[in-house]
């Protein structure tokens, strides 16, 4: 018997990295997992591999209407979700001379707005059901100041403030809210930096593996309902 047997779990950004590893962990614990991201071929392959009635929806979560579409689709096909892990995100960094400002709005739209929209909408549905878990993925970059990471880290910092407030707002409703902040984790998120020949992306190699973060997410979900594990920070050992 799995700790998440009978649960419906939505994982955004499930086509690679931390989201993919999380989907595997949650499915391994018995959840029926619903995957979301843009690359449909990867989602379809993972859903088929996980089996157990897992499903997926390919969509661009940076679009304002996407979180509502995701909630509507999973609810229609599976029922009200018990768990949502808002993990989809992009990394754009650069100093004042380097940062491509064309990336600013898309990063705000995905890394902050879509998580807020999704959290609000899933919270309303979960509150009506009297149960649920919302986990938002931040970054240790929210709390480490370094040249070129201020915009990305600042958005994660805003997400942390929002997520903490949501946790307090939903106290007593049966809906728990938690935040997991990964340290440097070896995923595709660094591919654009590598391709651009940017130095520094591998400062912390050997980094964490995606499954290290997935384990932390599962740990949070497996706590007794009375225990609200507000935050988990996972450091690679290089960062503090």
**To which H or E segment does residue 122 belong?**
helix 114-129
**Contact between 159 and ligand NDP (CB under 6 A)?**
no
- Tokens 């009375």 belong to 226
Which one among 47, 57, 123, 137 touches ligand NDP, defined by CB under 6 A?
Answer: 137
188 neighbors 195 (Cβ within 8 angstroms)? no
37 binds ligand NDP (CB under 6 A): yes
* Beta bridge mates, 179: 136, 231
Among 50, 62, 177, 220, binds ligand NDP (CB under 6 A): 62
17 contributes a contact to ligand NDP by CB under 6 A: yes
Based on the shown chain and the rule CB under 6 A, indicate whether residue 19 belongs to the binding site for ligand NDP.
Answer: yes
Task: Please list every residue from 99 through 118 that binds ligand NDP, using CB under 6 A.
Answer: 110
Least spacing, CB of residue 54 vs ligand NDP, in Å: 15
- CA-wise closest residue to 158 among 134, 180, 142: 142
Residue pair 176/228 in contact by the 8 Å Cβ criterion: yes
Phi–psi pair at 35, nearest 5 degrees: -100, 140
CA distance 20 to 11: 8
Among 98, 169, 188, 222, binds ligand NDP (CB under 6 A): 188
* Rounded Cα–Cα distance for residues 27 and 106 (Å): 30
Residue 55 as a binder of ligand NDP (CB under 6 A): the answer is no
Q: Name the residue nearer to ligand NDP (CB basis): 119 or 185.
A: 185
Report the residue number, 83 or 184, with the smaller CB distance to ligand NDP.
184
Measured from the CB atom, is 148 or 174 closer to ligand NDP? 148
Catalytic residues: 152
Three-state DSSP class for residue 3 = coil
Instruction: Return residues touching ligand NDP (CB under 6 A).
Output: 13-19, 37-39, 60-62, 87-91, 110, 137, 139, 182, 184-185, 187-189
């Amino acid at each position: 018997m799995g700790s998440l047997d009978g649960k419906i779990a939505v994982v955004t950004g499930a086509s690679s990295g931390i989201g993919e590893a999380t989907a595997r962990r949650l499915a391994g614990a018995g959840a029926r997992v619903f995957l979301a991201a843009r690359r449909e071929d990867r989602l379809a392959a993972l859903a088929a591999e996980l089996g157990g009635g897992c499903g997926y929806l390919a969509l661009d979560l940076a679009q304002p209407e996407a979180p509502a579409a995701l909630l509507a689709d999973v609810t229609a096909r599976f029922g009200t979700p018990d768990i949502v892990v808002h993990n989809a995100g992009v990394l754009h960094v650069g100093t004042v001379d380097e940062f491509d400002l064309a990336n600013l709005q898309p990063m705000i739209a995905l890394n902050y707005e879509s998580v807020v929209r999704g959290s609000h909408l899933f919270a309303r549905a979960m509150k009506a059901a009297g149960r649920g878990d919302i986990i938002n993925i931040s970054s240790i970059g929210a709390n480490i100041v370094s040249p070129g990471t201020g915009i990305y880290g600042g958005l994660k910092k805003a997400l942390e403030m929002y997520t903490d407030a949501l946790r307090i707002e939903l106290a007593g409703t049966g809906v728990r809210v938690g935040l997991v902040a990964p340290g440097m984790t070896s995923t595709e998120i660094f591919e654009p930096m590598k391709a651009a020949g940017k130095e520094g992306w591998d400062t912390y190699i050997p980094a964490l593996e995606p499954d290290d973060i997935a384990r932390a997410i599962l740990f949070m979900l497996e706590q007794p309902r009375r225990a609200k594990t507000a935050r988990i920070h996972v450091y690679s050992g290089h960062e503090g």
